[in-house]
């Protein structure tokens, strides 16, 4: 299933973009799976991969912020490679 990431700074309209994407019946755009509210994880990309794999829509993705990538010490390149992301929306 095709995957995407919305990477943006806070207060830039990413929640609005997320709501627009969710209108389409074949797309699911989830909240930030890399949020730091649950603390550090051993394999944050593996956790995200699992969360995306259980979604049923043909196209799935999530939004995140650069500081959450830094918190988990994950690069965007590594995230794209390991999750087999086809599209990254960055703003």
**For the segment 33-86, what is each residue's pLDDT rounded down to a tens digit?**
998 887 888 999 999 999 999 999 999 999 999 999 999 999 999 999 999 999
Secondary structure letter of residue 45 according to DSSP: H
Q: Whole-prediction pTM value?
A: 0.91
Longest dimension (CA), the chain: 34
Domain ranges, residue 75: 3-90
- pLDDT value of position 91: 83
Distance from C-alpha of 70 to C-alpha of 76, rounded to nearest angstrom: 10
User: Could you tell me the pLDDT band of residue 1, with boundaries at 50, 70 and 90?
Assistant: confident
Torsion of CA 88, 46, 14, 58, to 10 degrees: 70
pLDDT, tens only, 13-36: 999 999 999 999 999 999 999 988
- How many domains in the chain? 1
């Amino acid at each position: 299933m095709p995957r995407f990431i919305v990477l943006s700074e806070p207060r830039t309209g990413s929640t609005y973009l997320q709501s627009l994407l969710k209108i389409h019946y074949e797309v699911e755009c989830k909240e930030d799976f890399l949020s730091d509210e649950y603390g550090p994880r051993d394999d944050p990309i593996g956790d995200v991969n699992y969360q995306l794999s259980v979604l049923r829509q043909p196209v799935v993705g999530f939004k995140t912020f650069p500081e959450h990538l830094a918190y988990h010490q994950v690069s965007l390149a590594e995230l794209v490679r390991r999750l087999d992301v086809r599209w990254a929306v960055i703003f």
